[in-house]
Structure 1
């Protein structure tokens, strides 16, 4: 997700949480020497030097996530669970240093020497790695009957050119926060369409219950693309055509959606002008200070909202799927890290075995409990232990059901910068159709 770079000092850090915010920096940074260095530090990262010669030796590279344990502990557990494969863990920087993670993976995969054999990747890198021929197609290993155990949205994001090139691991998405206490004063029903949301938000403002009706992220940054994906998709619109070769950003569904965002500032005035310069944290702070009725944000907000040291709305916050337009469905921009196999791995079968283990029900269950990272298997949201130990996570199945990938294209780095600029111009000027026409032309030149 975009860069959730600054956690509030008074709030507890949600262990291991990754937001789309943590990832925007890969688009704007230069070479990440930390990532590259990590690949060269084999003996200091992961298992020891003593190795059983009879075991296939492979490596696993991932951004560093922390909770009650580390990913290094996961790899140790895999090594101890069988005697056929020995995995070296390559710990890359955390997702907040996404530039370094991305560049480290690119530098190593581009060498085509088979290292790392298995890797985790931000959802928005999948198409680029696949188009470069660095990611092994997984269709023969994971047929349709095995894929049905995952959320459809994550599978779509893991698919490029009609081939499964990544395997779902853990996820996050945008979601709709609301003030339960204020909503009770205004009908008590969580709005399911955008028009109702705007009406309730305006009424709460007029009554003096809140300063702001609806907070979102309009900064010219990756998070703006995420907000746009959600609202456009909820109006049956799209940014790219299904084949990824042309833009639909200037079609009715998309234009109406962006117009709605503009109108929250200029017409209904349920959003302050400041949202045009806000990413996640500036929009979160007024909400947890009790100044807003509704907000779109990521899952990291909930633990902060429940922390009395950082929040004025403890036990007053609810979470639901984002609203939609008439005839549309709720959509939540997909984030998270997914798994890939190096197309040049010299130990392909061993790599597939590790990949299968990491994405298994048992390992995703462990990750959910020990890292607080949401599983990509819907069945786990019904698990009694997860419901008990991670009650907020267990409530998010309906939100994740609407998870929608950002445009799937190997040209994503260029497309997202164009989207950020074009949508920002439309929101500032109010000339939505004209700006979307210009943006469509620009994107068509990129993806054609």
Structure 2
């Protein structure tokens, strides 16, 4: 195992992302009562618990659960597997919380859901002294907190990466990764003129009508110099910058730069398309690096791809801050077991083991600083660059309504049901109504 570093150095620049997250509080919580951090004594009960999460194709999370179960025969963890679609995951967790169901113990939450679940008291505060928070990337701790109280244990962090077919780019004489949208288009034009690029499309992200669309639109707006909300939590989507961003995506579908089938892409569909050699460029998360690098014959791009920061309008783009937190349902039984399992699940040792299996980016600063680690996972320095400038999605209590409004209007524009100007004007009105409420 990696030797623990006692100096606990913090990554330069990541505090910016934490500060930005505070600015986008959006709306007030349903309750004005402040919550104090829990003590371990307040989390009572020992016995079987349930881990509630999306599927994990890498098998890494299951290995951690198996390791826990082998050592804790009286406190077994059962995995409750939710759908792959993030919106469906959130919906099922919300429904369970609204009926105060005890069948969900430990929740794997998208970082942007944490404020909503904490504000509604669907998850319980965690004792900070039970977690090594001072050794973790500050932005990940902030993303796991609500009103200065920690409600989740940072699980992994995420920033967008641009995956590129370096073999095709080299054959076309393109030696540098694109930093702007125009450069990406020029690179694609050169590649697609090659005979060996027959049947290959230029670029894809996540454009299905789900959370991935909110992320991709947010990144496009930020990468064009705009924002979805201002520092006071007021929506700012009916702007020239947001229009530039949306027109980039709409024009991409109309011109064929983005293949028509990408309108159905979530993360996994995009990974499969790139892994099968169907794309020159793909915007996705770090977790797919492992699959793309597979040497068992499952990846047609093994040894033929590279990673870089996502492009923007006039220079490198701005990633969305992604990742997951692990929290305890307020209605769970056996909360003491749940806390111990969370501490085990998110420990340095387990994060190191999962990194080898899944390429999920760890939340401990030391991994990004260790040359032996970055030699094996060369995307980590690029990810750090992405995280340095990352912006959070709107950190609002009514996040479900906010992301649904974004998805409805942006999807309508991408599919041609609305022109970009009308979609943004309608989205501005919807978000203003949501934040006013």
TM more than 0.5: yes
Tell me the residue number matched to 2:219.
Answer: 230
CA shift, 1:318, in A, is 1.0
User: Which residue does 1:8 correspond to in 2?
Assistant: none
Q: What residue number does 1:165 align with?
A: 151
1:253 partner SS: helix
Q: Secondary structure at the match of 2:84?
A: helix
Residue in 2 that maps onto 1:149: 136
Deviations for 1:380-407, whole angstroms, at most 9, x for unmatched residues? 2344665576666687444455554433
Is the contact between residue 109 and residue 115 of structure 1 (CA under 8 Å) also seen in structure 2? Answer: no
Distance 1:147 1:329, change over 3 A: farther
1:245-324 alignment, distance < 5 Å: 246-266=234-254, 269-307=256-294, 309-324=297-312
Match of 1:57 among 46, 52, 60: 46
Aligned partner of residue 199 in structure 1, secondary structure: helix
- Please give the alpha-carbon distance, in whole angstroms, between the structure 2 residues aligned to 1:221 and 1:107: 18
SS across alignment from 1:73 = helix
Q: Describe the superposition over 1:270-322 as per-residue Cα deviations: whole angstroms up to 9, x where unpaired.
A: 22344334444554454334343212133454444345644433311112221
The corresponding residue for 1:443 is 431
Q: Name the Cα RMSD after superposition.
A: 3.9
Give the whole-Å Cα distance in 1 for the aligned partners of 2:187 and 2:339.
Answer: 51
Give the match for residue 10 of structure 1: none
CA distance in structure 2 between the aligned counterparts of 1:346 and 1:280, rounded to whole angstroms: 33
1:323, distance to aligned residue in structure 2 (A): 1.5
Residues 163-198 of structure 1, C-alpha deviation per residue, up to 9 Å, x if partnerless?
443221124443211011222233311112222222
Correspondence 1:75 to 2:68: yes
| Pairwise CA distance, 1:334 | 1.2
2:205 alignment counterpart: 216
CA contact (8 A) 1:235 1:324 kept: yes
Q: Which residue of 2 aligns with 1:421?
A: 408
Structure 1 residues 72, 285: CA separation in 2 closer, same or farther (over 3 Å shift)? closer
Change beyond 3 A, Cα 1:414–1:216? same
Displacement of 1:149: 2.4
Gaps of 5+ in 2: 1-43
Name the CA shift for 1:204/1:223 in 2 (closer, same or farther; >3 Å).
Answer: same
Give 3-state SS (helix, strand or coil) of 1:190's partner. Answer: coil
Higher RCO (CA < 8 A, seq sep 6+):
2
* Number of matched pairs: 384
Which whole-Å CA distance do the structure 2 matches of 1:444 and 1:298 have between them? 30
Deviations 1:99-127 (A, max 9, x none): 88656654665566988675432334312
Deviation at 1:438, TM superposition (A): 0.9
State how far apart, in whole Å, the 2-side matches of 1:150 and 1:284 are: 27
Q: Match for residue 49 of structure 1?
A: none
- Any residues of structure 2 matched to 1:368-383 within 5 Å, and which? 368-369=355-356, 372-383=359-370
Partners of 1:371 and 1:203 lie apart in 2 by 33
| Equivalent residue number for residue 196 of structure 1 | 183
* Cα shift readout 1:33-85 (whole Å, capped 9, x = no counterpart): xxxxxxxxxxxxxxxxxxxxxx96266532365338534334347759xxxxx
2: CA distance, partners of 1:259 / 1:103: 31
Q: What residue in structure 1 maps to residue 322 of structure 2?
A: 334
> 1:21 is matched with which residue?
none
Q: Is 1:176–2:162 an aligned residue pair?
A: yes
For residue 375 of structure 1, give the secondary structure of its aligned residue in structure 2. Answer: coil
Q: Is the 8 A contact 2:48 2:77 kept in 1?
A: yes
Tell me the secondary structure at the aligned position of residue 46 of structure 2.
strand
User: Quick check: 2:180–2:315 contact (8 Å CA) kept in 1?
Assistant: no
| Cα distance change of structure 1 residues 170 and 434 upon mapping to structure 2, 3 Å threshold | same
| SS of aligned partner of 2:432 | helix
- Name the SS for the 2:229 alignment partner: coil
Unaligned runs of at least 5 residues, structure 1: 1-54, 81-85
* Higher deviation after alignment, 384-393 or 410-419: 384-393
Aligned to 1:27: none
Q: Structure 1, residues 129-167: CA drift from partner, whole Å, max 9, x if none?
A: 112113334586599x94462252x34432334544322
- The 8 Å contact of residues 173 and 400 in structure 1, kept in 2 or not, is answered as yes
TM-score by length of 1: 0.70
Q: Distance in 2 between matches of 1:301 and 1:345?
A: 33
